[in-house]
Structures are given as C-alpha cells and as structure tokens.
Amino acid sequence: MVLTRAQARAEAEAQATQVNDIEGMLESADTEYPDATDEYDTEGASRASALVVADKSGVNIVPGVEENIEKLAGFFFAQAQSLAEGQALLQSQQEGQSNAQSAALMAVQASTETGIMQLMNQQFAIAGRFQEELMETQSTIQEQFMTMQVMQAQAGEQIERSVTEKFLNALREVQCQSQALVTAQSNDVDRLETQLDAKIDDAFQTLTFRIQRLVDEQMAARQHASNDSEKTVELVLELVEKSTAGIHAHVKQSVDRGLQVVRDELQQELCASTVASTSEPALDAVKHLVVTEATRAERRIEAQIQRALTAFQSCTFKFNVKRTQLLFCRTSLSNTATVLNKARVSR
C-alpha cells in the first residue's frame, strides 16, 4: 500500500508522540525508583542497558522494572522497525514521484523539441516559399524592366522614323519649292537671254548694214579710181568683216559671262531665301515634335517603373512581416525550451 505524504507525515507524528509517551514513562519510573538510576544518568535505551548490566553484575533490581524494560525494548524495536519501514516507503514514494516527474519533464521536453522541430520545418517551408515568391517577383520585375526597355527602344525607333520621315518630307517640300522657284527664275533668265541675244543680233545687223552702206558709198564715190584700188577695197571689206565678227564675238562672250554671273547670283539668292524662309518653320516643327514624343515616352516609362517599384516594395514588406513573425515564434520557443531545461536541472 502506497502512502501519501500527508499520511506518512501523520504516521511519523504518531510515532513521535508514542516515543514521547515512552520517555514520560521512563521519567516516571526514575521518579518511583531513584536508587536504581543514581549511578547511570542516561535516557531511553541507555537506561535500559544500564539496568541490564546492573542485573548481570548482581545488583538488586526492583521487581517489575525488568519486565517494563523488556516491554520498552520490544516497543522500541517495533517502533524502530515501523519507522524504518515508513522511511523506506516514503523514500520509495519520493523516488517514484521523482521518476514520474522526470518522465513527465522528459515527455514535455520531447514534446517541446518536437514542436520546435515542427516550427523550424514550418519556418523553413515558409522561408522557402517566400524565397520562391521573392524570386518570382524579382524575375517578374526584371521581365517588366526588359519589356519597358524594349518598349522604350521601339518608341525611340518609332520617334526616330517619324521624325526622319517628317524631316525628309519637309526637305522634299523645300526642294520642290526651291526647284519651282529656280525653274521660274531660270525661265526668266532664259527669256531675258533670248531677248538680249535678239537685241544684240539686231544691233550687229544694223551695224553691219551701216558699215556696208558706208563701204558702198565710198566705193561708189571712188569708182573712177584705178584697178589697184579694187584690191584695197577688198582688203578693207575683209578687215571690216573680220573686225565686225571679232566685235560680235567679244560682245557675245561679254554678254554670256554677264548673263551667267547674273544667273548664278539669282540662283544663290533664290536658294538662300527659299531655305531661310522654309527651313526655320520646318526645323521648329521637327524640334517640337521630337520634344513632344520624347516627353510622352518618358512619362509612360516613368509610370511603368513606378508601378513595378510599388509591387516590389509591397512584396518586400510582406516578406519582412512574415520574417518578423517567424523570428518571434523562434524566440518564444527558445525561451520555453530554456525554462524547461532549467526546471529539469532543478528537479
């Protein structure tokens, strides 16, 4: 039968009470028989042993004391045996309780370690999942950046093509206008040249006619001269024709050079005025178009980059929150394990 602590304590108190009663009886015996106890001033079992020694040595003992001593000795032996049994029982109970508590602590520690391992596995799984999600988010952001770069390159190419086409169209229009003006001026110059050629031809014809008339008049006036003068007249006519032809050629060359210079100057002035009048508006329009397209493309790219950065920051914030929660769980489990280990050591 296993006794509880309260029962063992009550039994020990009862035994102590019985011992006190026995000591009271011994004191009363000493009071009744003072001569038997004057030589030995001891208590309990010492007094009994003293009386036994006195008996063996031949000392006269009061009748009834030996029987009381034997009863007391038997009672003491029974009480000592009972105390030894109670002590062994109490010790076994304490050992059983200690073993039960140790087993309970071991079970709690094993359960705690199992929980810690499970939480660590869950933490690793959650960290792995968040790492995968973070990698997916990073890859998505990189793909978005690559897409934006491609879109930016395409937009730049489109802007470049559009600007180039519009600039070429403007240049074609300017060239057409310049060509039309140059053609008109060339026609005017050709017409003026034709008129000058006609006037020069008329003037030379008039001059030739006048010279011929003067020659005829001189020949008519000198018909009565000798035959030798005919050769002179022929030489004069030949010289007049040569000089007239030379003068005509010189005048012709001078007029051609002057007309060419005038034509070149008119063409240069026409080209300069045409380019000056048409290139400035065309260049202003091209510049305005380039600035507008570049601004639009920059705004689109900034908006896309801002959206990508917002998504990346949101994912990073969620990952940090989960990481903080996992660290808190790990700290709590570590504290619990520390407390359990301390309790186990104290037990």
DSSP secondary-structure letter at 39?
S
pLDDT, average across residues 55-70: 58
The pTM of the whole model exceeds 0.75: no
pLDDT, average across residues 217-243: 56
pLDDT band for position 14 (cuts 50, 70, 90): confident
By the 8 A CB rule, do 74 and 67 touch?
Answer: no
Q: Where are the domains of the chain?
A: 5-124, 130-346
Alpha carbon 65 to its chain's center: 104
CA distance 176 to 180: 6
Question: Where is average pLDDT lowest: 278-282, 305-309, 321-325?
Answer: 278-282
The percent of residues above 90 in pLDDT, for the chain, comes to 0
Residue type, 42: T
By the 8 A CB rule, do 90 and 6 touch?
Answer: no
By the 8 A CB rule, do 286 and 167 touch?
Answer: yes
By the 8 A CB rule, do 93 and 8 touch?
Answer: yes
